[in-house]
């Protein structure tokens, strides 16, 4: 007797029916979202994967389809918890196990999600990572760096086509200070974001910058996932300059915020922090300038007082000194006159004596 031969359709239908018999009701499955794709018809497709550990290769995976009719209820549940279906996020979802005969593919048709599982898992992973980083002294490594007094050369990790980037750059431009921005243009959300952020930080570590800023334009709690990863945290801790974060979430602080030198709520707040640092330097410079000017004025005033006192002493002493000099001069004049008069008298007496001698000599010659 010949063995039965299935057509492809018959085999797929048989597999579908066997799957339905094995899983007659919805099941809950947990795993990590990968390969998220939203179609133009409003359907969402992704893979749910199980890994041996964070960052490890998947041990197993299953395709998931979230059809348009089920999306509103799932999105409401996510929105109420501040979440969004994103790659790399751990989820617990409900769905119907099925086999798509047209594509010959086993899949889970999703119709529900447990947001509490995702939030709790993210919080637990975050706490474990923070504890490990604290044990290695990395939570305060970047914070221990001194912020330059005039941080005008800024390295920026952001995407140039986002509102967060424009808010940050425009705020710096309006300050009037000569800020220079070195941009590492990468997307900081979505699949692979943590690797892109780490790459950007390592690039900026070799640039002549005073500080590095990481900004993001806001989003859901699940969008923070890349900033709660160990790779990003360690990259920030290893930076040679202070790192300022403006991840744009008003409620939650990410691990990146905890490791960074300064954590701000928004990109605009990051810019204001840097501007205030420069203003503080300008204020200190003005204060020092005023002190130097005041000291110079005090020294000039002291010198003027000393010169005035010297002039007064000169004026007070000049008349007496002049009288003394005139008296001495008068004494010298009288002495000179006396010496002159006596000299004339002595000369006249000498001439008289010579005249008498000549007369006597002449008389003797006449007699002879």
Reply yes or no on whether the pLDDT at 152 is more than 90.
yes
Q: How high does pLDDT run on average in the chain? A: 88
Contact 113, 125 (CB under 8 A): no
Q: What is the rounded average pLDDT of the residues 15-43?
A: 93
Three-state SS string across the chain, please?
Answer: CCCCCCCHHHHHHHHHHHHHHHCCCCEEEEEEEEEEEECCCCCEEEEEEEECCCCCCEEEEEEEEECHHHHHHHHHHHHHCCCCCCCCCEEEEEEEEEEECCCCEEEEEEEEECHHHHHHHHHHHHHHHHHHHHHCCCCCCCCCCCCCCCCCEEEEEECCCCHHHHHHHHHHHHCCCCCEEEEEECCCCCCCHHHHHHHHHHHHCCCCCCEEEEECCCCCHHHHHHHHCHHHHHHHHCCCCCEEEECCCCCCCCHHHHHCCEEECCHHHHHHHHHHHHHHHHHHHHHHHHHHHHHHHHHHHHHHHHHHHHHHHHHHHHHHHHHHHHHHHHHHHHHHHHHHHHHHHHHHHHHHHHHHHHHHHHHHHHHC
Which of 250, 244, 185 lies closest to 212, judged by CA? 244
Q: Which residue has the higher pLDDT, 250 or 71?
A: 71
pLDDT at position 315? 75
Q: Which residue has the higher pLDDT, 358 or 161?
A: 161
C-alpha 361/C-alpha 365 separation (Å) is 6
Reply yes or no on whether the pLDDT at 154 is more than 90.
yes
**Domain residue ranges of the chain, discontinuous segments joined by +:** 8-113, 126-143+153-271
Reply yes or no on whether the pLDDT at 251 is more than 70.
no
C-alpha 232/C-alpha 245 separation (Å) is 12
Q: What is the rounded average pLDDT of the residues 57-67?
A: 92
Q: How confident is the model at residue 1 (pLDDT cuts 50, 70, 90)?
A: low
To which residue do tokens 């604290």 refer?
Answer: 134
150-154, 221-225, 296-300, 306-310: least confident range = 221-225
- CATH 2.60.34.10 at 8-113, yes or no: no
Q: Which fold has domain 126-143+153-271?
A: Rossmann fold (3.40.50)
Reply yes or no on whether the pLDDT at 54 is more than 70.
no
Reply yes or no on whether the pLDDT at 360 is more than 60.
yes
pTM of the model: 0.63
Q: What is the rounded average pLDDT of the residues 80-102?
A: 88
To which residue do tokens 């031969």 refer?
Answer: 5
pLDDT at position 82? 76
Contact 267, 248 (CB under 8 A): yes
Residue 146 phi/psi, 5° resolution? -80, 130
Contact 179, 152 (CB under 8 A): yes
Reply yes or no on whether the pLDDT at 274 is more than 60.
yes
Q: How confident is the model at residue 368 (pLDDT cuts 50, 70, 90)?
A: low
Q: What is the pLDDT of residues 306-330, one digit of tens each?
A: 887 887 777 776 777 777 888 888 8
Determine the length of the chain: 368
Q: What is the rounded average pLDDT of the residues 121-139?
A: 88
Reply yes or no on whether the pLDDT at 250 is more than 70.
no
C-alpha 334/C-alpha 231 separation (Å) is 109
pLDDT at position 3? 84
Reply yes or no on whether the pLDDT at 365 is more than 80.
no
Q: What is the rounded average pLDDT of the residues 238-262?
A: 88
pLDDT at position 51? 85
pLDDT at position 295? 86
Give me the percent of the chain exceeding a pLDDT of 70.
95
Q: What is the pLDDT of residues 169-182, one digit of tens each?
A: 999 999 999 999 99
Reply yes or no on whether the pLDDT at 83 is more than 90.
no
Reply yes or no on whether the pLDDT at 249 is more than 70.
no
Q: How confident is the model at residue 273 (pLDDT cuts 50, 70, 90)?
A: very high
């Amino acid at each position: 007797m010949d063995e039965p031969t299935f057509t492809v359709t018959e085999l797929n239908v048989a597999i579908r029916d066997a799957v339905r018999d094995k899983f007659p009701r919805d099941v809950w499955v947990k795993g990590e979202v990968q390969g998220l794709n939203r179609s133009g018809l409003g359907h969402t497709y992704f893979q749910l994967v199980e890994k041996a550990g964070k960052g490890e290769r998947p041990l197993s995976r299953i395709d998931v389809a979230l059809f348009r009719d089920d999306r509103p209820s799932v999105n409401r549940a996510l929105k109420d918890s501040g979440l969004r279906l994103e790659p790399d996020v751990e989820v617990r979802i409900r769905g119907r196990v099925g086999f798509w005969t047209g594509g010959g593919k086993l899949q889970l048709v999703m119709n529900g999600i447990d947001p509490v599982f995702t939030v709790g898992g993210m919080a637990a992973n975050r706490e474990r990572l923070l504890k490990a980083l604290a044990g290695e002294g990395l939570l305060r490594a970047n914070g221990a760096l001194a912020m330059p007094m005039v941080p005008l050369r800024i390295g920026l990790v952001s995407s140039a086509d986002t509102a967060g980037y424009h808010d940050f750059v425009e705020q710096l431009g309006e300050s009037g200070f000569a800020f220079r921005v070195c941009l590492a243009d990468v997307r900081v959300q979505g699949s692979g974001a943590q690797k892109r952020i780490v790459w950007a930080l390592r690039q900026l570590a070799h640039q002549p910058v005073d500080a590095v800023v990481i900004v993001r334009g806001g989003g859901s709690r699940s969008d923070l996932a890349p900033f709660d990863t160990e790779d990003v945290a360690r990259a920030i801790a290893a930076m040679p300059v202070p790192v300022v974060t403006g991840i744009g979430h008003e409620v939650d602080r990410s691990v990146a915020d905890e490791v960074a030198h300064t954590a701000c709520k928004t990109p605009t707040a990051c810019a204001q922090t840097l501007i205030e640092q420069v203003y503080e330097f300008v204020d200190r410079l003005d204060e020092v300038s005023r002190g130097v000017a005041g000291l110079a004025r005090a020294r000039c005033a002291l010198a003027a007082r000393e010169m005035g006192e010297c002039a007064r002493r000169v004026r007070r002493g000049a008349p007496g000194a002049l009288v003394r000099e005139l008296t001495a001069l008068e004494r010298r004049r009288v002495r000179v006159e006396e010496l002159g008069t006596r000299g004339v008298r002595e000369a006249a007496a000498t001439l008289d004596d010579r005249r008498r001698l000549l007369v006597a000599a002449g008389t003797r010659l006449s007699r002879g």
